[in-house]
Chains A and B, each alone.
Chain A
């Protein structure tokens, strides 16, 4: 069965950095694109970033462009989200999700909390 497990969350000061990881299993990781989506406390879902199966193309939300970088290591079946220049408004639960095609988020991880606070 498909499993996605996020790690690397925690509390960080404004302006700081954090890297999230998402370890995948149960499917051929190198065949599928991967997304990051976040949800601020009490708010709706906000898409963050997407990377194609082979890393050849990626897309980012305007709210994180220039600050967040998605990457992947197909040999480790892991997708990453490098987050720099963090702001309080980046506080959220971050989910990784397996894509079917580009825009269908077929399976989701359980989420990991990132808190940006001094």
Chain B
């Protein structure tokens, strides 16, 4: 059971907008910034969004992040087939003194 809660799956058709939620508590998301990671099949994870809503260089503007209270969201607009991947949210938990991940969301492009 993960400290951060994500839906196990999400899907959309090419061109659609999809959102993935990440729910936590006051000791993690409520107190710290959220990062999102993308893991393409068979590869290592990659930083996709940092500090809630910032994109590293090279990440398309189609990816955006937001945070409100103890929840965060990742939005992907203009969905493309190459976006099929697992997505993880993560943040620091002040009570556990640990980095915590969501369980991951598998995105399928139909």
Inter-chain contact B98/A46, CB cutoff 8 Å = no
Q: Which 3 A-B pairs have the closest CB atoms?
A: A103-B92, A47-B99, A44-B104
Classify the interface of chain A: helix, strand, loop or mixed: strand
Inter-chain contact B45/A108, CB cutoff 8 Å = yes
A104-B48 Cα distance, complex, nearest whole Å? 11
For the complex, count residues of A whose C-beta is within 8 A of B.
22
A62-B37 Cα distance, complex, nearest whole Å? 23
For the complex, count residues of B whose C-beta is within 8 A of A.
27
Q: 15 A-B contacts, Cβ less than 8 Å apart?
A: A35-B99, A37-B45, A45-B101, A45-B104, A46-B101, A47-B98, A59-B98, A61-B98, A100-B50, A103-B91, A104-B35, A105-B45, A105-B90, A106-B47, A110-B44
What residue of chain B has the Cβ atom nearest to residue A95's Cβ?
B44
Chain B residues positioned under 8 Å from A50 (CB to CB): 99
| Binary interface encoding of chain A residues 88-118 relative to chain B, with 1 for a CB under 8 A from any of its CBs, else 0 | 0000000100001011111111110000000
| Binary interface encoding of chain B residues 10-33 relative to chain A, with 1 for a CB under 8 A from any of its CBs, else 0 | 000000000000000000000011
Residues of chain B touching chain A, judged by Cβ–Cβ distance below 8 Å, are 2, 32-33, 35, 37, 39, 44-47, 50-51, 56, 86, 88, 90-92, 96-104
Among A46, A104, A110, A111, find the residue whose CB has the most chain B CB atoms closer than 10 A.
A104
Inter-chain contact A45/B97, CB cutoff 8 Å = no
Tell me how far the C-beta of A37 lies from the nearest C-beta in chain B, rounded to whole angstroms: 8
Residues of chain A touching chain B, judged by Cβ–Cβ distance below 8 Å, are 35, 37, 44-47, 50, 59, 61-62, 95, 100, 102-111
Other 18 A-B pairs with CB < 8 A, given A61-B98, A104-B35, A104-B51: A37-B45, A44-B88, A44-B101, A45-B90, A45-B101, A47-B98, A50-B99, A62-B96, A100-B50, A102-B92, A102-B99, A104-B50, A105-B35, A105-B37, A105-B47, A106-B47, A108-B44, A108-B45
